[in-house]
Structure 1
């Protein structure tokens, strides 16, 4: 895992580069948040490939469990990927609603993140 730092006037973002699954469960999430927080970052940018596919199946409730950790620890999250391959309307609605706020965002490309 490698971290690329992006700084704006307000936020310091950790872009996580890895070929591995980094978030498989809530414990992985908490460990990642703690590691990034103690390095002084305000936000984490992950790629879809680094998150277990079960996350995107809302029936597993894993997305809620994982995202609650980010909310509880006030760590912003951006997940970059192609979410069109997931067919469920519930997930599409979930992504749409998440993107209205600033805490959790799902984006098609890194350039949409505005760091």
Structure 2
């Protein structure tokens, strides 16, 4: 994990390599890491998210995101999820709605995250 300040926001970047992430417990573990590093936002590579995260019927995405939002930790999922979105209208709607807000974003990568943080802080 690396921590860097991006346009005034302390971001905890998870590495591409590592165990799949999806559950509420994973979110709590991530919160501990984020708080320990002083992060305000966690950037998770899309490739680290378990397939069940993108299947909204599993409830994993909702539980994961809700835990982070409840504890006021912002989340950025970084990477191409176009295949998953193409396979699920519900996921597409979830991504669009999330990207309208300030707490959960689905972005192409670190450059797009930096642009978004420059706009919103």
TM-score normalised per structure 1: 0.90
- Structure 1 stretches lacking a partner, 5+ long: none
Spell out the pairing of 1:1-115 with structure 2 (5 A cutoff). 3-8=1-6, 10-86=8-84, 87-114=87-114
Pairs aligned (count): 113
RMSD, aligned CA: 1.4
Whether the aligned pair in 2 keeps the contact of 1:16 and 1:45 (CA below 8 Å) is: yes
> Quick one: distance in 2 between partners of 1:100 and 1:71?
15
Whether the aligned pair in 2 keeps the contact of 1:58 and 1:91 (CA below 8 Å) is: yes
> Quick one: distance in 2 between partners of 1:95 and 1:21?
23
